[in-house]
Structure 1
Amino acid sequence: MAGGLAGATLLTLVHETVRRAVPKAPRMDLLGMQALAKGLHKLGLNIPNPTRLFYYTMAGDLVSNALYYSLGGVNNRKIVLRATLLGLAAGVGAILLPEKMGLNDAPSSRTTATKLMTVGLYLLGGLAAGIVQRAMQKKRQPKAAGKALVL
């Protein structure tokens, strides 16, 4: 789970930094807020003010992305590749799924640059998750016993 959390945290930190500096950056925060508000509305629950909605969305993104990226470490083989491919799939899904879910797809798809950055952010998160998961796996493996020195 720690590798997934590392990937999710990096994804969120880079996204929040890029969206403040790059005009065509993806706005996955807005997409997440839109999805959360829509879900709350369908459940007949009150939609919190924009600030709280943002924080709830960020918390939900961290948890769900951490769980998702953790899937890369389910099997102890090819962890980095699997987690990176999960990141790629998440990025492509972030472009293709919003419209099908009845959401505004502009936050992830308004320009080609936005689409490329969307995929890149999720890919980065997956790669980071895989690297951390592999490093943790190697740390947990027992060290091979050294050969005895024969005199």
Structure 2
Amino acid sequence: MKFAINMLGGLAGALILNIIHESAKKLFKEAPEIDKVGQEAIKKTSRTVGITPPTGKKLYATTLLSDLASNTMYYSAIGKGDSQGLFWRGAGYGLTAGLGAIGLTKPLGLNDAPINKSMVSKILTVAWYTLGGIVAASAIKLLDMKNDHVVGRNN
């Protein structure tokens, strides 16, 4: 049951992160465009393993689903360990992911311009990944509390 709770919490954080990224890039030009980095990664990975990469809407959808899956798994790890440090762990995981997004893109051979185009873009990237981690931690906490109540613990 704990695995499912952690995965659902991770999904909550990943959904918030993707919704914010996708909404903000339509609203203002300074917004980071993490999907462009993801699309480049999908293309390079596909070619490396000898498959023709998707294009157009299929590439976009593949990128969003890949982001959602990888961020869900990453954020689900927040639920490991005791519940005392859950929110700090969520913030720490999110902060680490955001810093990784702005700092590791170029060393990984990807174009970092879509997320490092300005200081505002960098700050928003880190802030949004951190928010995703906090949302994941909050969801895990709520689901843990609900599970404890349903199975009769901590009444």
Give the structure-2-normalised TM-score. Answer: 0.90
Q: CA deviation at 1:137?
A: 1.3
Whole-angstrom CA distance in 2 between matches of 1:120 and 1:42? 32
Unpaired runs of at least 5, structure 2 = 1-6
Per-residue deviation, residues 56-103 of structure 1 (Å, max 9, x unmatched): 010011111001001000113211211111010000000001100111
Runs of 4+ in 1 over 6 A off after TM superposition: none
Q: Which residue of 1 aligns with 2:32?
A: 26
25, 29, 35: which is aligned to 2:41?
35
Q: Which residue of 2 aligns with 1:148?
A: none
Give the structure-1-normalised TM-score. Answer: 0.92
Read off the aligned partner of 2:33 and give its amino acid letter.
R
- Larger Rg belongs to: 1
Q: Does 1:102 align with 2:113?
A: no
Alignment of structure 1 residues 2-151 onto 2, 5 Å: 2-77=8-83, 78-141=85-148, 142-144=153-155
Whole-angstrom CA distance in 2 between matches of 1:79 and 1:50? 39
Read off the aligned partner of 1:102 and give its amino acid letter.
G
Whole-angstrom CA distance in 2 between matches of 1:103 and 1:49? 18
Read off the aligned partner of 1:65 and give its amino acid letter.
N
Whole-angstrom CA distance in 2 between matches of 1:24 and 1:38? 26
Give the fraction of aligned pairs with identical amino acids, expressed as a percent.
36
Unpaired runs of at least 5, structure 1 = 145-151
Range with bigger deviation, 133-142 or 16-25: 133-142
